[in-house]
């Protein structure tokens, strides 16, 4: 699967990239903030976006909404250290396919990817 990784932390992006490559996925782009994420999504049209919630500028929640506006069928998995029922419910009702909590493991990615349709 061709994936866009969006996280403001470069080491997190690198860790996610390693996990994805080891599980047979292709990272076609990375972004460190919301505006760059939206531009990369529009330019690259990835099959999946892994999107952090807390970033400078636009939040992942805002980016999720804009990506879904560009492509209602876009597949987005949220990455977050925030485990709050209200936030999680909002993310899922607004089109996130799954949520991966930091710190994460290979298994967390497998479980999230199994929810993709």
At 15, which CATH number? 3.40.50.2300
Read off the pLDDT of residues 70-115 as tens digits, 9 standing for 90 and up: 999 999 999 988 777 778 888 888 899 999 999 999 999 999 999 8
Whether 36 contacts 67, CB under 8 Å: no
Instruction: Please name the helix (run of DSSP H) or strand (run of DSSP E) that holds residue 67, with its range, or none.
Output: helix 60-70
Beta partners for 101? Answer: 80
3-state class (DSSP) for residue 30: strand
| Structural domain includes residue 13 | yes
Q: What's the pLDDT score for residue 91? A: 87
Q: Is residue 114 included in any domain, yes or no?
A: no
Query: Is 75 within a domain?
Result: yes
> Counting beta carbons within 10 angstroms of the beta carbon of residue 48, is it exposed (0 to 12), middle (13 to 18) or buried (19 or more)?
buried
Peptide bond into 103 cis (omega under 30): yes
Based on the structure, what is the number of domains in the chain? 1
């Amino acid at each position: 699967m061709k994936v866009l990784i969006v996280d403001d932390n470069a080491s997190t992006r690198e860790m996610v990239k390693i996990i994805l490559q080891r599980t047979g996925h292709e990272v076609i782009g990375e972004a460190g903030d919301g505006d760059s994420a939206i531009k990369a999504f529009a330019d690259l049209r990835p099959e999946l976006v892994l999107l952090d919630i807390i970033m400078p500028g636009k939040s992942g929640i805002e980016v999720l909404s804009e990506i879904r506006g560009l492509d209602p069928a876009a597949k987005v998995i949220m990455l977050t250290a925030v485990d709050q029922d209200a936030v999680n419910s909002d993310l899922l009702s607004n089109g996130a396919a799954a949520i991966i909590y930091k710190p994460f493991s290979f298994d967390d990615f497998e479980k999230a990817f199994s929810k993709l349709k």
